[in-house]
């Protein structure tokens, strides 16, 4: 193609702006050719920019020259077009776009740049596979849906900045090149050229810095910040992602939660017009597990569990009796009106439960006359009735029971609950159900590492009444940690921190981090704690996920301008890439 060296008239309006009140005005639009229809005599094009699109008509009678040029136009050509706004003839109004009531009768056209045929159409929805779209992300980003998503993202930034400013928070930037403090995920490392053999790490979160800012007296810190975690990417994670990160001094859990839920409510109100009722409900981890089988329960589903361990403890049904005797639980939930489920539907549920590794799944159905179940005989009619009444089951209802160890039974029930809700459409679809889950266990035991690991992170404080258990029974210690859950998705997590060096060392000990290692890895933090650390705590929102939920998208890639694929590469610019030998040499690195 020969180069286009056109000068152009700058736009008087955007492509989303013109309305019938503009009829009669002479205007200029700049933008991309969205589509073109050549009806022999008349040529119609839509010209598009990020504000919308407008139909332009080229009539050979109005301007033969412009009409001639319009015949050359193709999709995605960049143009400047001038003409008069006219009303659309009866019956041709396009009600699906805001500027659909008018046309522009063009008399001047300048092609500012040509474009090759795009590999997929720039439409609201495209069939093209995602790899192709990511390779041509600059075109993908022209699609209205992605433009709307990034605009929404921008608005969430603005609300967030405003909200925290109003609440006396200070935005402070923390370093991107920091010391490696591996705990949790794997660090991304950056080799130092000056310090032979040494590395910086990219922050997994600004956790230690924000705590040190509290020691420095900043009192209320916030930052919208990039974090980096070198994990094998599961379905919807990104190696770099954004958090709204905050920390506060002289506070307890409720203070931090109040600030965080206030932000959520503000965002929902301003962007979606949805009022969240505050304070949000709170469940302890134990309640969340024993009622809903999840530490991020989706409260849009009403189903709730009941334990019947006491009812079936000494029954003749061995599975139940032995499970309870061995310290496990028998628990389940009632599905109102679901007794009409067929055997084969139930069997497919049993298979599903088995695929989750649930020990035993037993169902019962209530009719006007009796409670029926495949295990009625072993359990005995009386116990079966008692089980049903304990679970508040009425005629027409279906009961589902699982018998297993505490963790397995409730986890399986949690998955079953959601599966039943999906199959029977029991989600309250339009609802927004947010809650706090609190008092998480402090540690989980990692069989792989043969030691306890922090469930949240090693700076989280235990509940004061549980600290005596740190030595004797760490598995039982509850943390002052909390998660904010929205419709079954965790959108924020935080904790009240340890601000006392002695307690911090005791927690390190449980984690198998000895004195010497603690000083080596976290000496700077322990050091700061020796000089008057205030009680403090904070929380961080997963920004991408929050925007995804607000935008009603299924993938966080749809709310990130330049996301990475599931294997952590960027297809558009082909990162990661090999580098020049000389760069490696300077960094004292050899690839083996």
Nearest distance from residue 124's CB to ligand ASP, in Å?
35
Nearest distance from residue 507's CB to ligand ASP, in Å?
14
Q: Which single residue is written with the structure tokens 């995605």?
A: 76
Nearest distance from residue 511's CB to ligand ASP, in Å?
16
Q: Between 137 and 536, whose beta carbon lies closer to ligand ASP? A: 536
Alpha carbon 338 to its chain's center: 33
Q: What burial class does residue 188 get, using C-beta atoms within 10 Å of its C-beta: 0-12 exposed, 13-18 middle, 19+ buried?
A: middle
Nearest distance from residue 454's CB to ligand ASP, in Å?
11
Q: Between 184 and 336, whose beta carbon lies closer to ligand ASP? A: 184
Nearest distance from residue 207's CB to ligand ASP, in Å?
4
Q: Between 63 and 207, whose beta carbon lies closer to ligand ASP? A: 207
User: Which residue from 18, 116, 33, 130 is spatially nearest to 81, judged by alpha carbons?
Assistant: 33
Q: Between 441 and 538, whose beta carbon lies closer to ligand ASP? A: 538
Q: Which residue is nearest to ligand ASP (CB)?
A: 205
Cα–Cα distance for residue pair 177/186, rounded to 1 Å: 15
Tally Cβ neighbours within 10 Å of residue 403.
Answer: 27
Nearest distance from residue 56's CB to ligand ASP, in Å?
50
Dihedral angle at the C-alpha atoms of 4, 7, 10, 11, nearest 10 degrees?
-40
Nearest distance from residue 487's CB to ligand ASP, in Å?
20
Binding site for ligand ASP (CB under 6 A): 205, 207, 493-495, 538-540
Cα–Cα distance for residue pair 245/41, rounded to 1 Å: 60
Give Dmax (Cα) for the chain.
95
Contact 243, 224 (CB under 8 A): yes
Nearest distance from residue 543's CB to ligand ASP, in Å?
11
User: Which residue from 455, 358, 363 is spatially nearest to 411, judged by alpha carbons?
Assistant: 358
Nearest distance from residue 477's CB to ligand ASP, in Å?
17
Nearest distance from residue 232's CB to ligand ASP, in Å?
18
Nearest distance from residue 226's CB to ligand ASP, in Å?
12
Q: Between 511 and 539, whose beta carbon lies closer to ligand ASP? A: 539
Q: Between 13 and 497, whose beta carbon lies closer to ligand ASP? A: 497
Rounded to the nearest 5°, which phi and psi values hold at 83? 180, -170
Helix segments in 71-216, DSSP class H: 130-135, 137-140, 144-166, 207-215
Q: Between 280 and 540, whose beta carbon lies closer to ligand ASP? A: 540
Q: Between 149 and 211, whose beta carbon lies closer to ligand ASP? A: 211
Could you list the beta-strand ranges (E) of 315-442. Answer: 329-335, 360-366, 371-372, 398-404, 434-438
List own/partner pairs for 281-288 with CB under 8 A and 24 or more apart: 281/435, 281/436, 282/257, 282/435, 282/436, 282/437, 282/438, 283/435, 283/436, 283/437, 283/438, 284/437, 284/438, 284/439, 285/437, 285/438, 285/439, 285/440, 285/441, 285/478, 286/439, 288/437
Q: Which single residue is written with the structure tokens 């040494």?
A: 198
Cα–Cα distance for residue pair 363/408, rounded to 1 Å: 18
SS (H, E, C) 308-328: CHHHHCCCCCHHHHHHHHCCC
Q: Which single residue is written with the structure tokens 């390779």?
A: 135
Q: Between 441 and 493, whose beta carbon lies closer to ligand ASP? A: 493
Q: Between 414 and 538, whose beta carbon lies closer to ligand ASP? A: 538
User: Which residue from 236, 170, 239, 235 is spatially nearest to 202, judged by alpha carbons?
Assistant: 239
Nearest distance from residue 342's CB to ligand ASP, in Å?
45
The two tokens of residue 329 are 């639980």
Q: Between 181 and 373, whose beta carbon lies closer to ligand ASP? A: 181
Residues paired with 217 in a beta bridge: none
Q: Between 362 and 491, whose beta carbon lies closer to ligand ASP? A: 491
Nearest distance from residue 492's CB to ligand ASP, in Å?
8
Q: Between 203 and 360, whose beta carbon lies closer to ligand ASP? A: 203
């Amino acid at each position: 193609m020969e180069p286009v060296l056109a000068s152009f008239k700058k736009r008087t309006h955007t492509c989303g702006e013109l309305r019938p009140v503009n009829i009669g005005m002479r205007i200029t639009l700049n933008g991309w050719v969205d589509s073109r229809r050549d009806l022999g005599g008349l040529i119609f094009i839509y010209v598009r920019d990020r504000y919308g699109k407008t139909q332009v008509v080229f009539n050979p009678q109005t301007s033969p020259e412009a009409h001639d040029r319009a015949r050359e136009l193709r999709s995605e050509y960049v143009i400047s077009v001038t003409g008069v706004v006219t009303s659309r003839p009866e019956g041709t109004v396009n009600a699906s776009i805001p500027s659909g009531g008018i046309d522009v009768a063009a008399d001047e056209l300048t092609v500012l740049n040509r474009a090759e045929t795009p590999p997929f159409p720039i439409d609201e929805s495209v069939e093209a596979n995602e790899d192709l779209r990511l390779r041509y992300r600059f075109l993908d980003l022209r699609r209205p849906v992605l433009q709307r998503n990034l605009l929404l993202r921008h608005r969430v930034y603005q609300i967030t900045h405003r909200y925290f400013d109003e609440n006396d928070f200070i935005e402070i930037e923390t370093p991107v090149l920091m010391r490696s403090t591996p705990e949790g995920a794997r660090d991304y490392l950056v080799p130092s050229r000056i310090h032979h053999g040494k590395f910086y790490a990219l922050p997994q979160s600004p956790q230690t810095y924000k705590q040190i800012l509290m020691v420095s007296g900043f009192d209320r810190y916030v930052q919208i910040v990039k974090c980096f975690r070198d994990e094998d990417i599961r379905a919807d994670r990104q190696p770099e992602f954004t958090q709204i990160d905050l920390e506060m001094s002289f506070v307890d859990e409720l203070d931090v939660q109040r600030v965080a839920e206030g932000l959520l409510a503000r965002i929902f109100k301003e962007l979606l017009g949805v009022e969240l009722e505050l304070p949000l409900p709170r469940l302890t981890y134990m309640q969340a597990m024993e009622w809903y089988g999840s530490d991020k329960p989706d409260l849009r589903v009403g189903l709730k569990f009941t334990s019947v361990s006491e009812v079936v403890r000494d029954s003749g049904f061995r599975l139940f009796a032995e499970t309870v005797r061995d310290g496990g639980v028998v628990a389940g939930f009632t599905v109102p009106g679901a007794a009409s489920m067929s055997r084969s539907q139930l069997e497919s549920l049993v298979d599903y439960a088995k695929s989750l590794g649930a020990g035993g799944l037993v169902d019962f159905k209530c009719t006007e006359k009796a409670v029926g179940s495949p295990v009625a005989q072993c359990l005995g009619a009386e116990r079966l009735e008692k089980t049903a009444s304990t679970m508040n089951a009425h005629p027409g209802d279906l009961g589902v029971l699982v018998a297993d160890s505490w963790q397995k039974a409730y986890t399986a029930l949690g998955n079953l609950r959601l599966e039943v809700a999906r199959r029977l459409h029991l989600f309250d679809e339009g609802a927004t159900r947010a809650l706090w889950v609190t008092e998480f266990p402090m540690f989980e035991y990692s069989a792989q590492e043969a030691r306890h690991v922090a469930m949240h992170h090693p700076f989280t404080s235990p509940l004061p009444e549980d600290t005596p258990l740190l030595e004797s029974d760490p598995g039982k210690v509850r943390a002052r940690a909390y998660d904010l859950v929205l419709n079954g998705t965790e959108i924020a997590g935080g904790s009240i921190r340890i601000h006392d060096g002695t307690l911090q060392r005791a927690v390190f000990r449980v984690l198998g981090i000895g004195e010497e290692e603690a000083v080596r890895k976290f000496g700077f933090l322990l050091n700061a704690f020796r000089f008057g650390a205030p009680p403090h705590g904070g929380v961080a929102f997963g920004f991408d996920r929050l925007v995804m939920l607000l935008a009603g998208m299924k993938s966080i890639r749809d709310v990130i301008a330049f996301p990475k694929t599931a294997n952590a590469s960027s297809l558009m610019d082909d990162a990661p890439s090999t580098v020049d030998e000389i760069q490696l040499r300077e960094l004292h690195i050899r690839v083996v």
